[in-house]
Amino acid sequence: MANAPLMPKATAVWLVENTSLTFDQIADYCKLHPLEVKAIADGEAAQGIKGLDPVATGQLSREELDLAIADPHRRLKLLESKVRVPEPKSRRGPRYTPVSKRQDRPNAILWLVRNHPELKDAQIMRLVGTTKSTIEAVRERTHWNSANLQPMDPVTLGLCSQIDLDLEVQRAAKEKPLPTAGGTTLLPAEITTRADEIEPEEEEEARPGKSEVDLSKVFAKFQDSRGHDDDEE
């Protein structure tokens, strides 16, 4: 984290407990959110973290701290470290998971399997630091604690960052081929919209309720009989 002290949460814990700095001043110096600093002050966050004195570690001068305490609008300035810390190298393979969070990995695996089925096992292993056998056991519901597993977001559990999850999902979406059309397909429009080719005569014969008697002949006979009656009169 650029321009942030080492162990920012531990530094924030020490500043909250030992100074009268505002939450905004501490959040700006430690590169945290003010609400997170407030949660530390209320005892809702960073429980069990021992405070780290930034003055003793050479990350903040005593004069700068006194000036910031006297002026609530003043921002703390981080002292430049005389020791150059190398950039962390990207690791391949499973991510290291703290012992306290390892019990949450099956829940995270279940969440990933259900919400991102496009992810490969190797990607899930990188995200939560698990093994292929554990992934298969969770997916096939053969895990020893399968009945008690609950799908939980690995980002919420702190097993990976949202950026890492988004990158793996985007990578899986690019590698996954588009589904090919197969199985039963719809008939073309020219077939479904085409009227049945039935001859007019056949259509007349097939029409339901059509009388078998030729009505024109019946009316002709009726007119003939009426004409004979007029002649007799």
The answer to whether the predicted template modeling score (pTM) of the entire model surpasses 0.85 is: no
Give the pLDDT score at 187: 61
For the purposes of burial, counting CB atoms within 10 Å of the CB of 76, is it exposed (0-12), middle (13-18) or buried (19 or more)?
buried
Give the pLDDT score at 26: 93
Residues 97/160, Cβ–Cβ less than 8 Å: no
Residues 23/34, Cβ–Cβ less than 8 Å: yes
Give the pLDDT score at 172: 86
| Cα atoms in the 13 Å half-sphere on the side-chain side of 4 | 16
Domain ranges in the chain are 8-70, 99-175
Give the pLDDT score at 181: 47
User: What is the rounded end-to-end Cα distance, in angstroms, of the chain?
Assistant: 122
157 by DSSP, 3-state: which?
Answer: helix
Q: For each successive 10 residues of the chain (233 residues), what is the average pLDDT?
A: 76 92 92 90 83 88 90 87 55 55 86 92 90 92 90 88 88 68 55 54 51 59 56 51
Please state, in angstroms and rounded to a whole number, the distance separating the CA atoms of residues 218 and 222.
6
